[in-house]
Chain A
């Protein structure tokens, strides 16, 4: 139980630090900044685990774990899952979610209702749908999955590897159309 409690505390500390950084500093690569903050919380978790008593001054005897190392590793796994599967996904959805952006556009519109034409023009707070595709392309260029040469976009070696992996998985799982 100690590992779980410290994982929860570390996760909350991580998201609090992310919030402070995002509010104070203009961060360009936010996902990378979040990852750095998460990595910084790992030694804090380890130190807290090593320096506190097994019962955390409050746990009843039945919740004290005799296998301290395993309990510590378990807590670290939970902390990582809460970050990669939780906070980072919240950020990804808020920053990149196509469906979510549509919902927000509708909610922010004066009549709280939009026609497809209005959404197409006003997508992304007025940037328009064409911007979405450009944003994806720029993202692939900046992560070096593609390069642009003589007006053509080409997959890099890294891009080829990614295409092979994900293309293979999509074929195996019979996924042909994005849901």
Chain B
């Protein structure tokens, strides 16, 4: 049995996490990825399996080999919000556009760049494509998957007394 089982498992987890992040950057830089979030999730899943395999290969006992998977899992928890900030944050998009404009942008110019109908139509299309809502006679209703996501967050908003949000 490996005398430094914990250290080996944690190092394996960290190394495979780094591999997943590098893989993400390389793949996204050289290929047009359609399912971006799914691809990142797949990369981290592979990293978790690889961390487990590495641990077992290096004579780490089963319990501690799982710690490597925990490292990858926690890194995934931290990495996804960062990735979504880069990829989808409207605030980040706004800062980039304001910085790119030589004399800045007025609120009116920003509103013209983000027409609410188009923004909403795009997001409804994405939600329908992802299976959270379904269109019937020009109206959108939640699917089972949509309700499954919606209900816990409604409970959190009520529990923490959050405002309307959005």
Contacts and interface: CB of A to CB of B under 8 A. Distances in A.
Interface of A: 1, 4, 18-19, 22-23, 30, 62-63, 65, 67, 70-71, 74, 77-78, 81-82, 84-86, 88-104, 106-107, 111-116, 118-120, 123-127, 129-130, 132-137, 139-140, 145-146, 149, 151-155, 159-160, 162-164, 166-167, 169-170, 172-175, 178-179
B103 A152 contact: yes
Chain A: interface secondary structure? helix
A175 B164 contact: no
A113 B142 CA distance: 7
B159 A85 contact: no
B142 A153 contact: no
29 contacts: A19-B159, A22-B160, A92-B81, A94-B156, A100-B149, A102-B120, A102-B166, A104-B157, A106-B142, A107-B150, A113-B140, A116-B117, A116-B120, A116-B121, A116-B140, A123-B166, A124-B165, A124-B166, A132-B116, A133-B110, A149-B104, A153-B105, A154-B98, A155-B104, A159-B99, A163-B98, A178-B88, A178-B93, A179-B126
B52 to A, nearest CB: 16
Contacts, number: 250
B6 to A, nearest CB: 5
B47 to A, nearest CB: 15
B80 interface: yes
A153 B110 contact: yes
Interface in B116-164: 116-117, 119-121, 123-124, 126-127, 132-133, 136, 138-142, 146-147, 149-151, 153-154, 156-157, 159-164
Contact of A96 (B74, B161, B165): B165
B74 A98 contact: no
Contacts of A135: 166
A70 B132 CA distance: 43
A18 B156 CA distance: 12
A173 B77 contact: no
Nearest to B154: A104
Given A62-B61, A82-B77, A95-B162, A115 B139 contact: yes
B117 A97 contact: no
A98 to B, nearest CB: 6
Given A81-B75, A90-B156, A140-B95, A101 B106 contact: no
Interface string B74-88: 111111110001111
Nearest to A86: B77
Interface string B8-49: 001000000000000011001100110011000000000000
Contact of A170 (B33, B87, B111, B160): B87
